[in-house]
Amino acid sequence: MRIGICGAGTVASGVVSILQDSKGLEARLGSSAIQIAAMASRRASDNPVFAGIPFELDVFAMPSRADIDVIVELIGGIDDALRLVKAALSEGKSVVTANKALLAHHGAELMALAQSQGVSLLFEAAVCGGIPIIKALNESFVGNNVRGIAGIINGTTNFILTKMAEPGANASFETVLSEAQRLGYAEADPTFDIGGMDAAHKLAIMAALAFDEPLQIDQVFTEGIQEIDGEDLKWAERLGYRVKHLGIALADDTSLEMRVHPALVPDQSQLASIQGVTNAVNVLARPVGETLFTGPGAGAGPTGSSVVSDLFDLARGAPTRPPQSLSEDRGSRKAKSMLETKSGWMVRLSVRDRPGMMSQVGSILADHGLSIDQIQQRDAPDGTTTVVMILDSAVERDFQASLTALKSHPDVMPGARAIRVFDPESIG
């Protein structure tokens, strides 16, 4: 099988290194089963890993080459990648891609094209780097009814939250973000990661596969970690939780919810223990039960490993699952509005220290059907009291109404904050 690699960045170097070094592949497929026919990138590369490989500067010339059977799309971005992948599929060539943004926005169209051409579009590398979650959802859990996925699926945000939560850190979001950028764990423009869009792409892809529903990136509620401060993390810890940035997709027989947001998770849960740039995906399915996949979510080695796993499947002639799972003509569940979803909450208020104040807070919550699971308070020298509560799970609409009511109370100071609580045990 002769492949053409488009892109010459980090992941491409990982793929080339593996293909040149791996004894395992040789043993299983024969020594020349996967040959790199050519690489292409808009910019020349002086990466010594690529030495000896024919290198072109026009990626769009690759799909039509007769000496290439499979295109590996690693150029990133959306527009050019879309053009490239469409061209390759139209030429009857299978494509392996690590491009989650492309799939999240054009997966249905590309899958339909692949299917009509009788070729494969594989993308293990697009979701959570080295964790084989796509294969698990597509193949291992094929006899299951998946009810939920919940995971830490963006390494940048988890690195930042881990650093901010370190004992004695007292580091602001901005300070830690700068450190992440210096270490290469965050992009120069980090919006995509810290704003949650990257996680939303991954979640939409996993949810489509897990639930056999169309891919619906526009239905993913997306909130980033920009608003989290060090006090949030400290209070969460005192109350028995850690703050993580989660992707959550839940389905019942008729509805589907997909959301990406920061959340408190119980500190005894496995997700709470996931540190730094590591990713973790919890899958709740019947009858298999609860499984958790943990591993490196990005980088040349992990992502390259997943690209090569897809290439191996193509080289050994493994028929892939019928690709309709990302297409638009499947599924029957209705997407839930975020206002209809349920979460617990951590609420932090600063209130004027007056008699009966706590009872007023309690009755505002009760009026909206909310109940308090834990409460702590701390007097400030300025005559106010900080009140931090964990609320039991409630419908978002009711909670938001109660928060508005609390904020409008004359003795509640400006700046009331709320972060959702998610217990992985609550699904399954």
Sketch the per residue contact string, 7 through 46, with a copy of itself: x for CB under 8 A, - otherwise.
-------x--xxx-xxxxx-xx------------------
Q: Rounded to the nearest 5 degrees, what angle is found at the Cα of 337, between the Cα atoms of 290 and 406?
A: 100
Closest to a copy of itself by CB, 319 or 410: 319
For tokens 């892809």, name the residue.
Answer: 205
At closest approach, how far in Å is the CB of 61 from a copy of itself? 27
C-alpha–C-alpha distance, residues 362 and 240, integer Å: 22
Contact with a copy of itself (CB under 8 A): which of 262, 304, 344, 424?
304
Cβ nearer to a copy of itself, comparing 244 with 348: 244
Cβ distance to a copy of itself smaller for residue 119 or 338: 119
Q: Which residues are catalytic?
A: 202
Dist. CA 413–CA 361, nearest whole Å: 13
| Strand pairing class (241-251; 35-40) | unpaired
**Both tokens assigned to 42:** 């808009």
User: Site residues for a copy of itself, window 136-175 (CB under 8 A)?
Assistant: 136, 139-145
| Burial profile 293-323: b = 16 or more Cβ within 10 angstroms, e = fewer | bbbbbbbbbbbbbbbbbbbbbbbeeeebeeb
Query: Is 318 a binder of a copy of itself (CB under 8 A)?
Result: yes
Place of tokens 């979701």: 127
Burial of 356 (0-12, 13-18, 19+ CB in 10 A): exposed
Quick one: which segment of 37-45, 126-134, 345-353, 391-399 binds a copy of itself (CB under 8 A)? 126-134
Question: Residues 240-279 vs a copy of itself: string with x where CB under 8 A?
Answer: ----------------------------x-x--x------
Size of the site for a copy of itself (CB under 8 A): 58
Residue of 5, 308, 364, 389 interacting with a copy of itself (CB under 8 A): 308
- Determine which residue in the list 11, 39, 98, 124 makes contact with a copy of itself, applying CB under 8 A: 124
- Closest separation in Å from C-beta 143 to a copy of itself: 3
> Alpha helix (H) ranges present in 71-121?
79-90, 100-117
* Among residues 187, 212, 237, 373, the one that binds a copy of itself under rule CB under 8 A: 212
3-class secondary structure per residue, 182-244: HCCCCCCCCHHHHCCHHHHHHHHHHHHHHHCCCCCHHHCEECCCCCCCHHHHHHHHHCCEEEE
CB 330 → a copy of itself: shortest distance, Å?
Answer: 8
Residues engaged in binding a copy of itself (CB under 8 A): 14, 17-19, 21-25, 27-28, 124, 130-132, 135-136, 139-145, 212, 268, 270, 273, 285-296, 299-302, 304-306, 308-309, 312-313, 316-319, 321-322, 330
